[in-house]
Structure 1
């Protein structure tokens, strides 16, 4: 039988979070509020718990959950070779609706699914989630819904979908229909948006101008022949003038 708690009074909330942390530590699942949508949380370092999370959502290993962490400093412990531009983004937008995909630390003993050596990481801007993460450490967290269904706006809605597959539900009111986090792949150069969400491309480019939007292609590199032609100054008189030459 699942437990259901409403987060409210500070002293009571502290006791509830202690109980939620014990649930995570023993390898069971919880539903918790975040700054975007409600999520299913599991111990990121428990393969069985992560497997249970995927089963609760009816999702395969090909869609591994991201990992929530309590502070920026934790990133270096679970990710490797984080580029400077990624650090600029998290310095500006964490806590907040930004998930970055990085190379995972190869020494970590975990199994989030078919990650191909990467991990999605985020610091949520929600005090209940952060307080819990400070107790549990990194948690694998995915939206609290069955695969293909809309994310739950409340813990009660999540319970309607997930029922007793979750050991403990934390209710903190309606999420307000906020967008999920924006996902940026930081393992490629230039970095690329994989999912649009709570942060716009304009906001991202204020920090990293070179970042590519969803579906956008990088500028093409000049060919060897083009570079040789530029250096020699040769041109074909039968070739149409470029637009910038005509405008000149």
Structure 2
């Protein structure tokens, strides 16, 4: 199903429809402040397994992020942060950044890898924010598998390609082509892992 949601003024009725689908174990493709993402409810194990199947990966080895509406969920899913790391995250988020942190015990078991880390993302996107607020907790997210730019920028092409494996494609305008900048915040120093859309100086 393709649902068009206004990027600047998301319609509450449609946001609720998508959030209800997530709560019921649905998988969505949705816009962020970078590229379109593939997402589900972090507490729906079957949905996580389905996303891993779509991407042909082991859930424990996948590069999933927890997409949050703000930093208030941090203590739920990440271990204690240093004040300087928290200050940096506050400065850069919301924005096109993913911060890798040490995962807490509350991260769903299916996602526990040997590294025990979690990516935290707070996109600057009104549709995403509204969805997470309606859902009441973060969305588990990963990138769409795609060879061509259109595979992950044009929601109608994404819908044609994935309509049989996802429940909803949220159309919120043409997506970006550059993923988020990834920062490893598990050590004492913050380390750039992948330069993406967000500017970063060590």
| TM-score (norm: length of structure 1) | 0.73
Shift of residue 155, structure 1, vs aligned partner: 1.8
2:186 is matched with which residue?
Answer: 187
The answer to whether structure 1 residue 51 and structure 2 residue 44 are counterparts is no
1:25 is matched with which residue?
Answer: 23
2:159 is matched with which residue?
Answer: 159
Shift of residue 85, structure 1, vs aligned partner: 2.8
* Conservation of the 8 A alpha-carbon contact between 1:79 and 1:105: yes
Distance 1:85 1:170, change over 3 A: same
How many angstroms apart in 2 are the aligned matches of 1:201 and 1:167? Answer: 35
Aligned length in residues: 199
* Conservation of the 8 A alpha-carbon contact between 1:64 and 1:113: no
1:81 is matched with which residue?
Answer: 80
2:70 is matched with which residue?
Answer: 71
The one of the two structures with greater contact order (alpha-carbon pairs below 8 A, sep at least 6) is 2
Compare 6-15 and 152-161 and name the one that shifted more: 6-15
1:216 is matched with which residue?
Answer: none
Compare 56-65 and 183-192 and name the one that shifted more: 56-65
How many angstroms apart in 2 are the aligned matches of 1:36 and 1:77? Answer: 25
Shift of residue 201, structure 1, vs aligned partner: 2.8
1:145 is matched with which residue?
Answer: 145
For residues 182-226 of structure 1, what are the alpha-carbon distances to aligned partners after superposition, in whole Å with 9 as ceiling and x for unaligned? 111111222211111122332xx4xxxxxxxxxxxxxxxxxxxxx
- Unaligned 5+ residue runs, structure 1? 206-248
- Unaligned 5+ residue runs, structure 2? none
CA RMSD of aligned residues (A): 2.2
2:121 is matched with which residue?
Answer: 122
1:13 is matched with which residue?
Answer: 11
How many angstroms apart in 2 are the aligned matches of 1:113 and 1:158? Answer: 29
